[in-house]
Amino acid sequence: MKYIATAAFVFSVFYAAAQPVNIKKAVDIAERHMHSVTGGRFKDTGAQRSESRFSPVFVSTAGDDTLFYVFNDTVNNCFVMVAADLRSRPILGYSFNGLFDASVEVPAFSNWMEERKREIAGIKKGKVRPEKDSGQLWDNLSSSLSEGSGTMAGVEPLLKTTWNQGCYYNMMCPADPAGPCGHTVTGCVATAMAQIMKYWNFPPVGTGSNSYDDETYGTQHADFGATIYRWNEMPAKLTGQNDAVATLMYHCGVSVNMSYGPSGSAASVSPIPMRNFFGYSPNARYVSRSDFSDTDWSDLMISELDLLRPVLYRGSSTTAGHAFILDGYQEPDYFHINWGWGGWDDAYYFLGSIEFNSGQGAIINLTPTDLPEAFDGFFLSKNRYSLFATPDSDSLTIFSSVPWTAAADQPWITVAPGSGGPGKRTVMITAGENNSGMPRSGTITISSPGYGDQIVRVDQTAKTALTAGELKNIMGTALTTTTTLCLTGTIDARDFKTMRDEMPQLLNVDLRDVNIVTYSGTEGTASDGRATYPANTIPQRAFYYKDILASVNLPVSVTAVGDLAFYGCYGLKAIYLPSSVVMVGNYAFWGCQTMKILDIPASVTFIGHQAFSYCWALNSIFARSVNPPDLSSSSFVFYEVNKETCKLYVPSGSQSHYATADQWKDFLNVLEIPTLEGSPAEVGIGYTTGSTASIQIASNTTWNAFSDQPWLMVTPGSGNGNTTLLLTASGNPFKTVRTATITLTAEGVNPKTIGVTQLPNPLEAGFSASSVNNCPGSYVAFADLSPGKPLSWQWSFEGGSPSSSSVQNPVILYDQQGIFDVTLTVSDGTTSSTLTLNDYVNTRFQKISLEAVIFLEGALIDPSSSATYVQPMRTTLNGLGMLPGQTCDEGNIGYAPPGQPYKAEPWLYMGAEGNAFDPGTSMADGAVYSPTVVDWVLVSLRSGNPEDYAEQCRKAALLHKDGRIETIAGYDCCVPDLNASYFLMVEHRNHLPVMSHEPLLLVNGVLNYDFTAQQSYITEGSGMAGQKEANGIFFMFGGNGNQSTTEYSDTDINADDQSTWEKQNGQTGYRTGDYNMNGDTNSNDQIIWERNNGQTTSVPR
């Protein structure tokens, strides 16, 4: 005791020593401070600096003691408040944009000044311990007049409004001739609420209504749910009547049961009205400064402001309470305050030490539950996470009006999704298992255009391997700073005592990987000396009155929770007892006032006296046993739990058991334990806009469903019972798959997730041309070959006419010589693709003429054959005598060749010659081909070897009865060299192509060849890969339409060839086996078949 008394005496003497600051010193400090926080923006008089530069406009005194000064600087339009004692921090407050006017009394600001006066007066009298760094702060400002960067860490003031309580703002408040403009004042609480709501421009419409009786002015009523809040009509400052602002002010007042008056209106500061009537987050809560150290309180306020969330703040004097707003800060300790008094004295201030906090508190997490789609801004729900060492995750909500990306700086942190668009998005932050043995930290940078980067910090605990009783030694100096603890190994009651009594910042405890072992001794958690603590039991008083504790994961092997184990743990939000627990002791969770969810496994058979008494916030209890635990020997187990509103969930079919069981029967809202399943676990969905997929929900309760990606919509987003969810996707603009997660939630059920994979978008511009080598004056038909599902086409044709087109398959005239580019851009409404083929169309070719003759099924190979052939060739395509382009509507026949067969290579040939040749009217109107025309054929010139040729020209032509091939469109063909030689090839839709046996020389620009009298090649493969040289005079065989890539891959002529013909041409073809196309099948077709394949067969059918 002698030592303590001596120490107290030394403290008093030392700190009672006066260390005054005169006005000259204070002026110097004021100017130096403004230089440090404004950089080059601050104007001074250089070498001519003097006391007159900063004019003292207010001096606070107490008796003969000067406490602090207020100086105005009219040049820079600012003021600074400087302490008058070196033992106080030098700068109490400062403003960048306004002078101090002592004649304007701002009540909340006056209260703040009174607290600073009491604080400094206490320091001067030796009754208050000064800040330990105050001397260093004075030294720093006195040492030099260096300019700061002007970019001190912090947040610029968030609010644009400077609203007041009087005229115009109060026009909807109760009438009172003694008040400004004939009405009571709005009240500081309502003004602060209204300015924060204007900052968010939320809600568009309120919820519900409120009425109450004001002692002076009678009934006050506001119908929030019937009111549209017209945010766009609310200016930053009022200069005249404004009903939109006045309505908002009055509604804020009614929501808090404002006690109105002509000079002051009073109400309590609470988050409840903001949550219930205006749709703000249910996580919004009031925190008291007295529960925090100075540093922790400052950090908490900074954390809120870093998230761009204004803080509704409360302070009080000996006579009244005050509400105002913290809306910015400059490190280390200065917060920008909007006093709600028309902008007067809004500036940066020190909040004061904990000894003089005057009932300070704040509402944190004050954000809208859902922001409107048109919301303009970027906000995060949280910017710091503390995760366990075992794989752990938590969610981050992003409100954004712009696209954003998120990237972690550590490989053990994953962020999903890593990007998103405008709207409200949920991001999962996951930390992998930490086996490093050390705590670790990382950051996530969230970038958005126009709003800069925001940093989210992720701290992960290490797994602390423990031998029972060693926690205190292992933690060492970290005992007082650790907030999250993850243990492995063995622990006993001594370690629980360490967590309870010697870890003041401990919020989260993970004990899933520990085993609790027996301990007997005096160093455990009991309050009365020596005790024995059984294994696998949470010890008695384990966390007794550990009111800061927020979450605990219990060991999976624990069988009992001891008496008073979590007694008075006010901060504990939920408790999930492992399925191994059999007993819950007396008063085990007494007074866990914020605990909302209690899960009691089926293994529990005993619950002690008042185990869950005074758990006022409980809204859901899950009792998993079909037979309720017997509470007949335990009193008041759920005392003060609201039995009318709290839902008791029990197994299916057991409601009747609980309805008659002691104490359980007091619950009026008994429901089956909810179930929720979604299937399948993985879903695929198409890449096009509007693609859909479905999910089956099996549930017995109300559920919600949401997607974590903006491109995937879920309908319905909520429901009850079994339902089919429809997933609808917007188009995938990427050539890679993208994924989303559908999360299903319901009260009392672990969230279920379903993975969704969207196919990649195959859209890619592609095209071909009927001919890329042409003479000037040629028409070229272009074919869109783009995979995917394009909805629009934009072509560009260098040297073509027209030079652009938006049709899918245009025909373009090239009437000048040159080598030209072609570009195609396709779009499916979601994405687009562009292809440019340089030097694609070549019109530097010369016109030539063809004089060629060929028969369809013409001259014989074996004149001695008994088969009878029509010579020189058939004059119609079948026995029906139909001409090209005609059709047959008789159902019993139903086959006909088209007039222009070429739709590919050779079937889909896109030449326009048919249109050019046609007289311009349809067959039904009498348009006919020349009576000598048999059908269309395709002719081409090839250069090089027969096995490896290069096509030089391709033209559609008409075949006449006499075997003459007639090309059209003005000339026959174009070639690059009139002195070269070329193979001539002829193709028909259902005959094997043939080609001249030798390359042919042009004679005066004419190429002449008679297939009926000269040797030729016949191709049996795709292109010329399987060509065979004929043994003499040959003709075009009707034949093997489905021949593949090699000579003998398919040697049959049968019904397969028939189906190939039909598929390529889109119409029914000839009868099966009618290889000579005369309308019937007989031995003549057999001979054709045998000669084409070199094999014997029966008569075709």
> HEC profile for 416-481?
ECCEECCEEEEEEEEECCCCCCCCEEEEEEEEECCCEEEEEEEEECCEEEECCCCHHHHHHHHHHC
Please indicate whether residue 873 or residue 1066 has the higher confidence score (pLDDT).
1066
The pair of structure tokens assigned to 924 is: 């039904």
Q: How far apart are CA 473 and CA 495, in angstroms?
A: 10
Contact (Cβ atoms closer than 8 angstroms) between residue 93 and residue 81: yes
Dihedral angle sign, alpha carbons of residues 929, 934, 938, 943: negative
pTM for the structure as a whole: 0.49
Q: Where in the chain is the domain with CATH 2.60.40.10?
A: 378-460, 676-758, 767-844
pLDDT average, residue stretch 303-307: 87
CA atoms within a 13 Å half-sphere pointing along the CA-CB vector of 1096: 0
Q: Is the pLDDT of residue 127 over 90?
A: no
Residue 59: its H or E element:
strand 55-62
Residues of the chain above pLDDT 90, percent: 39
Choice among 70-74, 144-148, 593-597, 738-742 with the minimum mean pLDDT: 144-148
Q: Is the pLDDT of residue 871 over 70?
A: no
Q: Where in the chain is the domain with CATH 3.90.70.50?
A: 180-364
Contact (Cβ atoms closer than 8 angstroms) between residue 410 and residue 439: no
Q: How confident is the model at residue 11 (pLDDT cuts 50, 70, 90)?
A: very low
Options 1.10.8, 3.90.70, 3.40.50, 3.30.70; which CATH number does 4-152 get? Answer: 3.90.70
142 burial class (0-12, 13-18, 19+ CB within 10 angstroms)? middle
Q: How confident is the model at residue 878 (pLDDT cuts 50, 70, 90)?
A: very low
pLDDT average, residue stretch 288-317: 85
Please indicate whether residue 227 or residue 738 has the higher confidence score (pLDDT).
227
- pLDDT of amino acid 880: 32
Reference 309, options 231, 362, 248, 374; nearest CA is 362
In three-state secondary structure terms, 100 is: coil
2: which strand partners? Answer: none
- pLDDT of amino acid 927: 42
Q: Is the pLDDT of residue 990 over 60?
A: no
- pLDDT of amino acid 626: 94
- pLDDT of amino acid 838: 95
Please indicate whether residue 205 or residue 283 has the higher confidence score (pLDDT).
205
Q: How far apart are CA 1032 and CA 1042, in angstroms?
A: 26
Q: Is the pLDDT of residue 921 over 90?
A: no
> What's the chain's average pLDDT?
80
Domain 463-672: give its CATH architecture: Alpha-Beta Horseshoe (3.80)
- pLDDT of amino acid 573: 82
The pair of structure tokens assigned to 53 is: 């530069």
Rg, the chain, Cα only: 45
Structure-token match 């034949």, residue found: 1039
Q: How many CB atoms lie within 10 A of CB 318?
A: 7
Q: Across 95-99, 972-976, 1034-1038, which has the greatest mean pLDDT?
A: 95-99
The pair of structure tokens assigned to 921 is: 């009217």
Q: How many CB atoms lie within 10 A of CB 167?
A: 17
1008: which strand partners? Answer: 851
Q: What's the CATH number for 180-364? A: 3.90.70.50
- pLDDT of amino acid 299: 84
Q: How confident is the model at residue 136 (pLDDT cuts 50, 70, 90)?
A: confident
Q: How far apart are CA 441 and CA 157, in angstroms?
A: 30
Angle, helices 134-143/23-38, rounded to nearest 10 degrees: 80
SS3 string of 179-213?
A: CHHHECCCCHHHHHHHHHHHHHCCCCECCCEEEEE
Cβ-based neighbours of 535, under 8 Å, separated by 6 or more: 515, 516, 517, 518
DSSP line for 869-921: --SS--SSSSTT-PPTT-----TTT-----SS--BTTTTB---SHHHHHS-SS
Residues of the chain above pLDDT 70, percent: 78
In angstroms, how far is CA 705 from the centroid of its own chain? 15
Give Cα separations from 1003 to 751, 964, 980, 1007, 1015 (angstroms).
83, 19, 10, 7, 20
Q: Is the pLDDT of residue 301 over 50?
A: yes
- pLDDT of amino acid 994: 76
Q: Which fold has domain 676-758?
A: Immunoglobulin-like (2.60.40)
CA atoms within a 13 Å half-sphere pointing along the CA-CB vector of 99: 14
The pair of structure tokens assigned to 594 is: 């914020």
Please indicate whether residue 1047 or residue 272 has the higher confidence score (pLDDT).
272
683: which strand partners? Answer: 756
Contact (Cβ atoms closer than 8 angstroms) between residue 934 and residue 960: yes
Q: How many CB atoms lie within 10 A of CB 353?
A: 18
Q: Is the pLDDT of residue 387 over 80?
A: yes
Instruction: Say what the alpha-carbon torsion angle 576, 582, 583, 588 is, to the nearest 10 degrees.
Output: -10
Cβ-based neighbours of 544, under 8 Å, separated by 6 or more: 500, 525, 564, 565, 566, 567, 568
pLDDT average, residue stretch 150-173: 88
Q: How confident is the model at residue 655 (pLDDT cuts 50, 70, 90)?
A: very high
Q: What's the CATH number for 378-460? A: 2.60.40.10
Number of H helices, E strands in the chain: 14, 64
Contact (Cβ atoms closer than 8 angstroms) between residue 723 and residue 716: yes
- pLDDT of amino acid 1089: 55
Q: What's the CATH number for 767-844? A: 2.60.40.10
Q: Where in the chain is the domain with CATH 3.80.10.10?
A: 463-672
